[in-house]
Every structure is written in structure tokens, then in C-alpha cells.
Chains A and B, each alone.
Chain A
């Protein structure tokens, strides 16, 4: 079964608005990563947050991690049409380099 469950499954916003996606997972982790997948393309790494970190920023991305609740969120500020993609969280539990992906959130940013 999937390690991570993401919500919402789909999100539609207008350009300039913020987009927040949430990820919940089940077991302890070493780190949690977020990836973006444009339609018909491979996944691209966005940001990694370690289990001892609570918040991390990268450009317009802000990631939080709450290990007590086993949850993470990805915030994209001032969204652009080019942010339209599917976003996946992935957990690294340190087991044989295994990275387990969530169910993904499809983000649509309209002009």
C-alpha cells in the first residue's frame, strides 16, 4: 500500500494565489521529499526536509514537517500557470534506499 496519502487529490486555483498540498504517512522516516511531475514527463525533485527539521524554504516553496502527526505540507506561493503539474510527497524510511511515494495532488493554475 502507499506510504503517503495526499490531499487534496486535485486543486484548481488562479494565478497569483497560494497552493497548499498535504501529505500524511504511516511509519517513521529519515526524510520526506516533494517532487513535481509535468504531464507526460518524469518526476523532478523539489525539496527535501529531514526528520529533525520542521520547516524549509526554497524560492516560492515552503515545506513543513510534523513528525508527531506524521504529516507534511507543501505551500507554493504566488502560483504561476507553469506550476500546473502533479505533486508527490515521498518518504525515505532508510530501508535499503527505498523511497515510497504518495498518491499525488494534481494542481491546475489558471490565468
Chain B
């Protein structure tokens, strides 16, 4: 039943490791996003895909690589993890690119880098 689901919910790892977070939406939406929420609750957009095509790539280190195998999935792979990558990562979807609709968020994936 979950509209936007992310896995894993919690991730604890060492500096230098590589990790992935997966996201799936069953809403039939065309556009998906990754947002990062830091310890001060600031939400910053990282990437957006529309129907598997990258449309937004904010100034994110190239250690972060999104992949969208189909329009229902948007995964985030992070190489060489750093302490500053610790945050909650949210996946979201929206019906149509450029549409005035709301975002539907997943429950977040809390990444802790030690």
C-alpha cells in the first residue's frame, strides 16, 4: 500500500564505504526526487528525474550517483562516504514534470557515517 517506499530506513557505515539507497513509487508518477535533510532539518534538493531522464542535478559531489532504471524507481548510490554525508535522505515523487502538484515523500533513510 505504501506510495513511496525507501530502503533501508537506517544505514550505519564507516567512512570510505560505498552504499546505496533504493526508492520505489507505486503512484504512476513521472517525476522523482532525492532530497537531503541535515541535522538542522534543512531540506535540500539533490536530484530529480522525469521518466528516467535526469532533469535536476544540484551542486552535489560526484560521489553521489542517482540511477533510474524505470520511472517507478530512483536509486541513490554514494561512493567513498564522508562524515558530512550523515543525514536523512528523502525520496519523493510528483505526477507530472512542471505540474503544480504536491510532492509525495517516502519515510526517509537515515544514514550515519562513522
Contact = CB atoms under 8 A, between A and B. Distances in A.
Nearest to A2: B42
* Chain B interface size range: 20 to 34
A54 B82 CA distance: 45
Interface stretch (A12-20, A55-63, A67-75, A94-102): A94-102
Contacts of B99: 97
B105 A92 contact: no
* Chain A interface size range: 20 to 34
Interface string B96-113: 011110111111100000
A30 interface: yes
B68 interface: no
B34 interface: no
B102 A96 contact: no
A86 B105 contact: no
A98 B105 contact: no
B56 interface: yes
B90 A103 contact: no
- Majority SS at the chain A contact face: strand
A16 to B, nearest CB: 27
Given A2-B42, A42-B90, A31 B48 contact: no
Given A42-B106, A43-B103, A45-B104, A94 B90 contact: no
A30 B98 CA distance: 10
B41 A104 contact: yes
Interface of B: 4, 31, 33, 35, 41-45, 48, 50, 55-56, 90, 92, 94, 97-100, 102-108
Q: Which 3 A-B pairs have the closest CB atoms?
A: A42-B105, A45-B102, A101-B43
